[in-house]
């Protein structure tokens, strides 16, 4: 009795607790604090999962929270605070994934944030006199936003300060002013003598360069344009000897062999087959000296530096990981059986009459044999009768059956995957040859068979080719020679679907319905109206089977499309390959005195030393941990750790790495910000060309910060090349409630790849 009372008390307390949490959610809902209201409704629904009212209020609060964050994101966009806008739109899509406007605005905000961050990086590079990196970033900004005023102004400033690099050598050109050359039938050496006085570069002629007359009219050209024009007009090629000297020689095969450097380069491939890259490079660059190392999936090339650079750019653009998708499949087969037996049924529909001898033995009805009973006269013959037994049936049987298969399979783009859930039924076949008997056993797949082939589009839609077969053994028999016969009932469906990432769809209507009616009756008597029912038995059976298929694709890896800077490659003329355009109006820039320290290091500020000054606030420490023993080709994980922090809600970070030595694989959220079970937002993106990983981890409700220490993120890299390398924090921000900045120090990580 006491146990029963205790159980009733616990149930009442559980119900009261759920109602209390629900009322708290109602209060928050009326205050338009929809995020917190949704959290409370979720708790109440967890206590009472069958309460429909809780479920409806949860859906309503999530919808209003999504709309609220969408409106906040729109205001942040108007303020050009794209980082906050990305955070708000991300929260909106988390609360309501069907809010398409938030999804579109999120893409726009991310694009504008990328432009804003790239412009800021370009300005920092410019301040540190790294003009080459600044120009590369400005190219990306202007490609995405051609009318960006600050980017165009900074580009013009860099244009006036840049210096020229030719064939990897920094030239000490005395003037970068536009060059004008006007000559009529002048000697070639005299033209280059004037060119040398204008630029301060000395030109040495090979003995094979013959004297010739030159006529040229050129205005406001760059050094590179003028030099390339004079070379092509006179059939010359060049070799940069040092920063002040260039050797000119005839552009012939023999002289190229004499002066042109050759490089042997090995390229290791991760995603593309080496044989396909071989065909690609031979077609694009007309390579002759190229070898495929099939065991290492690598290609080895020997050619001049320009061709090697072009091959590297082509491989970088082509060697991309293909997309993958996880298909969440659910196959449900529901069967209904309805049978009824009603009326009179005879045990047998026949009457037997037989004869017996004096001893009561049944007389045989076939002559012959030694064991039969026979009569020699009709005297003392007895008779024997058999009559059927009558059974009246009043039975109705209902049956339900359900078969469920819920496989989850990960499939690579355009690859076929097969799933079979069921059994393999044996079928035996017997054959005889002379005195020998052979038995052959074959197996037939029975159950649920599913063939899937996804095609992942660039817009994150999945075109899925599906083939479904559901089969079962309806009957089984064996012939006189031992052969097994199976009757297999099969239902097939084949379709092609176009689904968005995370969008479920249900394929139904695969219904089979069988009706069977059997009547057993006595002739003549069973045909009498109304009374004939007393002499008849009827059996009805109805079998209905329905198959439902649910498909939900989840894209786990999208195609890593290269940026336009990577996918667009200048390759020179038809018969003169080089990693630039002909008569290029813009040249690569170098730093005319680059600062030795890293561009993102800030000068230390002088702390206050006044009497009675308040102690400085606690400084959090940001560090990278891991990577103790790394060898070339290894995958390794680095933990981004935050220690001794107080009341942090958001942590946006930018981490730099050397893309020539490390390949970034992926980023995963750490456990620090979500250690109390509250919802968080985690985003990451990478710039493989410049070597930046952008990571942001934030609490969904920024007014509930967290303190302490823990892992913020985990970054996975692959060691690409041997040697020392380093990773550092380009940007490090820690924000508390209302965006309050927190003081954070960061340490770089030095690694050695063996």
Phi-psi category of residue 723: left, alpha or beta, with phi > 0 → left and psi -120 to 50 → alpha: left
60-64 long-range contacts (CB < 8 A, ≥24 apart) are 61/25, 61/29, 61/34, 61/37, 62/34, 62/38, 62/95, 62/96, 63/95, 63/96, 64/32, 64/34
Question: What letter does residue 678 receive in the DSSP assignment?
Answer: -
Ordered DSSP codes for 454-484: EEE-TTSEEEEEEEEEEEEEEEEEE-TTS-E
Q: Distance between CA atoms of 121 and 125, rounded to whole angstroms?
A: 6
Contact 213, 234 (CB under 8 A): no
* Those residues with Cβ within 8 angstroms of residue 63's Cβ, 6 or more apart along the chain or in another chain: 95, 96
Query: pLDDT, tens digit, for every residue of 73-106?
Result: 999 888 888 888 888 888 888 888 777 778 788 8
Element (H, E) at 22: helix 2-30
- What do you get for the CA distance between the two ends of the chain, in Å? 73
Of 593, 595, 590, nearest to 164 (Cα)? 590
Within the chain, which residue ranges are assigned CATH 3.55.50.30?
169-258
Which regions of 347-460 does DSSP assign to beta strands (E)? 352-356, 382-386, 390-405, 408-412, 417-433, 436-456
Q: Distance between CA atoms of 288 and 455, rounded to whole angstroms?
A: 36
Pick the most confident of 12-16, 392-396, 668-672: 668-672
pLDDT band at 713 (very low <50, low <70, confident <90, very high): very high
pLDDT of residue 374: 63
Neighbours of 21 (CB within 10 A): 20
Of 349, 398, 336, 389, nearest to 519 (Cα)? 349
pLDDT of residue 505: 80
Q: Distance between CA atoms of 129 and 96, rounded to whole angstroms?
A: 46
Within the chain, which residue ranges are assigned CATH 2.60.40.680?
620-753
pLDDT of residue 427: 78
* Those residues with Cβ within 8 angstroms of residue 345's Cβ, 6 or more apart along the chain or in another chain: 390, 391, 392, 393, 520, 537
Q: Residue 241: what are its φ and ψ, rounded to 5°?
A: -85, -50
pTM of the entire structure? Answer: 0.53
Domain range 13-98, its CATH number among 2.160.10.10, 3.30.70.1520, 1.20.1440.230, 1.25.40.10: 1.25.40.10
Of 696, 697, 694, nearest to 678 (Cα)? 697
Pick the most confident of 226-240, 386-400, 464-478, 727-741: 226-240
Contact 678, 666 (CB under 8 A): no
pLDDT of residue 365: 62
pLDDT of residue 403: 56
The class of domain 261-321+561-577 in CATH terms is alpha beta
Contact 451, 551 (CB under 8 A): no
Handedness of CA 244, 250, 255, 260 (dihedral sign): positive
Percent of the chain surpassing pLDDT 90:
7
Half-sphere exposure (Cβ direction) of 108: Cα atoms closer than 13 Å? 15
- Say what the alpha-carbon torsion angle 699, 705, 707, 710 is, to the nearest 10 degrees: 0
pLDDT beyond 50 at 14: no
pLDDT band at 586 (very low <50, low <70, confident <90, very high): very low
Radius of gyration over alpha carbons of the chain, in Å? 42
Pick the most confident of 430-434, 521-525, 533-537, 554-558: 554-558
**Mean pLDDT computed over 290-319:** 90
Phi-psi category of residue 86: left, alpha or beta, with phi > 0 → left and psi -120 to 50 → alpha: alpha
Q: Is the domain covering 169-258 a CATH 2.40.170.20 domain?
A: no
Element (H, E) at 39: helix 34-47
pLDDT of residue 298: 93
pLDDT of residue 329: 81
pLDDT of residue 442: 82
pLDDT of residue 618: 61
pLDDT of residue 583: 62
Query: pLDDT, tens digit, for every residue of 645-667?
Result: 888 888 888 888 888 888 888 88
613, two tokens: 């000054």
pLDDT of residue 616: 47
Q: Residue 666: what are its φ and ψ, rounded to 5°?
A: -165, 165
515, two tokens: 């009706």
Neighbours of 702 (CB within 10 A): 19
pLDDT beyond 60 at 606: no
Min mean pLDDT across 101-105, 183-187, 453-457 is at 101-105
Contact 681, 94 (CB under 8 A): yes
pLDDT band at 64 (very low <50, low <70, confident <90, very high): confident
Architecture of domain 620-753: Sandwich (2.60)
Within the chain, which residue ranges are assigned CATH 3.30.1370.120?
261-321+561-577
Pick the most confident of 115-129, 163-177, 259-273: 259-273
Within the chain, which residue ranges are assigned CATH 1.25.40.10?
13-98
């Amino acid at each position: 009795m006491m146990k029963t009372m205790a159980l009733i008390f616990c149930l009442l307390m559980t119900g009261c607790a759920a109602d209390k949490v629900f009322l708290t959610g109602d209060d928050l809902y009326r205050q338009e604090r929809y995020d917190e209201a949704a959290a409370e409704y979720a708790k109440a629904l967890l206590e009472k999962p069958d309460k429909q009212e809780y479920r409806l209020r949860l859906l309503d609060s999530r919808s209003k929270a999504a709309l609220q964050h969408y409106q906040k994101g729109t205001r942040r966009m108007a303020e050009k605070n794209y980082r906050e806008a990305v955070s708000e739109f991300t929260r909106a899509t988390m609360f309501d994934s069907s809010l398409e406007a938030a999804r579109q605005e999120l893409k726009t905000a991310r694009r504008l944030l990328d432009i804003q961050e790239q412009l800021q990086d370009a300005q920092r590079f410019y301040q540190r006199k790294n003009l080459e990196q600044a120009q590369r970033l400005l190219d990306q900004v202007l490609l995405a936003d051609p009318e960006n005023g600050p980017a165009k102004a900074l580009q013009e400033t860099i244009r006036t300060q840049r210096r020229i690099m030719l064939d990897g050598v920094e030239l000490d050109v005395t003037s970068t002013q536009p060059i004008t050359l006007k000559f009529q039938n002048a000697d070639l050496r005299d033209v280059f003598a004037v060119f040398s006085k204008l630029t301060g570069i000395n030109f040495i002629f090979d003995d094979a360069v013959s004297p010739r007359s030159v006529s040229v009219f050129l205005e406001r050209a760059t050094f590179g344009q003028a030099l390339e024009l004079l070379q092509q007009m006179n059939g010359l090629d060049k070799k940069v000897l040092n920063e002040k000297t260039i050797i000119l020689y005839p552009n012939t095969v023999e002289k190229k062999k004499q002066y042109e450097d050759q490089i042997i380069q090995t390229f290791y491939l991760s995603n593309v087959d080496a044989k396909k890259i071989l065909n690609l490079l031979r077609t694009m660059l007309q390579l002759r000296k190229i070898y495929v190392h099939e065991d290492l999936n690598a290609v080895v090339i020997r050619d001049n530096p320009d061709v090697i650079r072009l091959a590297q750019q082509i491989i970088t653009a082509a060697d991309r990981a293909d997309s993958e998708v996880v298909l969440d499949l659910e196959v449900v087969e529901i069967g209904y059986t309805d049978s009824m037996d009603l009326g009179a049924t005879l045990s047998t529909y026949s009457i037997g009459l037989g004869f017996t001898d004096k001893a009561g033995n049944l007389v045989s009805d076939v002559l012959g044999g030694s064991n039969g009973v026979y009569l020699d006269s009709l005297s003392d013959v007895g008779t024997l009768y058999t009559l059927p037994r009558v059974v009246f049936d009043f039975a109705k049987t209902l049956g339900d059956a359900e078969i469920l298969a819920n496989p989850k399979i990960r499939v690579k783009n355009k690859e076929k995957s097969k799933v079979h859930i069921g059994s393999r039924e044996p079928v035996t076949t017997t054959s005889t040859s002379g005195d020998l008997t052979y038995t052959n056993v074959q197996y037939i797949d029975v159950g649920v068979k599913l063939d899937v082939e996804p095609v992942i589009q660039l817009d994150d839609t999945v075109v899925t080719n599906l083939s479904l077969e559901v089969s079962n053994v309806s009957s089984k028999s064996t012939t006189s020679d031992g052969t097994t016969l199976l009757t297999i009932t099969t239902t097939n469906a084949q379709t092609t679907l176009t689904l968005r990432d995370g969008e479920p769809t249900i394929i139904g209507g695969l219904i089979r319905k069988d009706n069977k009616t059997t009547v057993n009756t006595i002739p003549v008597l069973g045909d009498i109206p109304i009374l004939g029912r007393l002499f008849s038995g009827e059996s009805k059976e109805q079998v209905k089977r329905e198959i439902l298929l649910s498909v939900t694709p989840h894209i786990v890896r999208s195609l890593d499309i290269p940026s336009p800077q990577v996918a667009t490659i200048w390759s020179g003329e038809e018969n003169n390959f080089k990693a630039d355009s002909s008569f290029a109006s813009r040249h690569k820039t170098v730093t005319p005195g680059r600062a030795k320290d890293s561009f993102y290091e800030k000068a230390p500020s002088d702390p206050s030393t006044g009497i009675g000054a308040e102690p400085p606030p606690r400084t959090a420490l940001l560090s990278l941990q891991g990577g103790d023993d790394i060898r070339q080709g290894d995958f390794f994980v680095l933990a981004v750790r935050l220690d001794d922090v107080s009341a942090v809600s958001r942590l946006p970070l930018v981490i730099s790495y050397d893309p020539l030595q490390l390949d970034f694989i992926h980023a995963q959220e750490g456990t620090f910000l979500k250690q109390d079970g509250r919802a968080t937002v985690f985003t990451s993106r990478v710039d493989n060309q410049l070597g930046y990983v952008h990571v942001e981890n934030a609490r969904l409700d920024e007014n509930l910060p967290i303190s302490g220490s823990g892992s913020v993120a985990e970054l996975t890299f692959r060691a690409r090349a041997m040697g020392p390398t380093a990773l550092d924090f380009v940007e490090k921000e820690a924000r508390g409630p209302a965006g309050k900045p927190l003081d954070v120090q960061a340490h770089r990580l030095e690694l050695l790849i063996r």
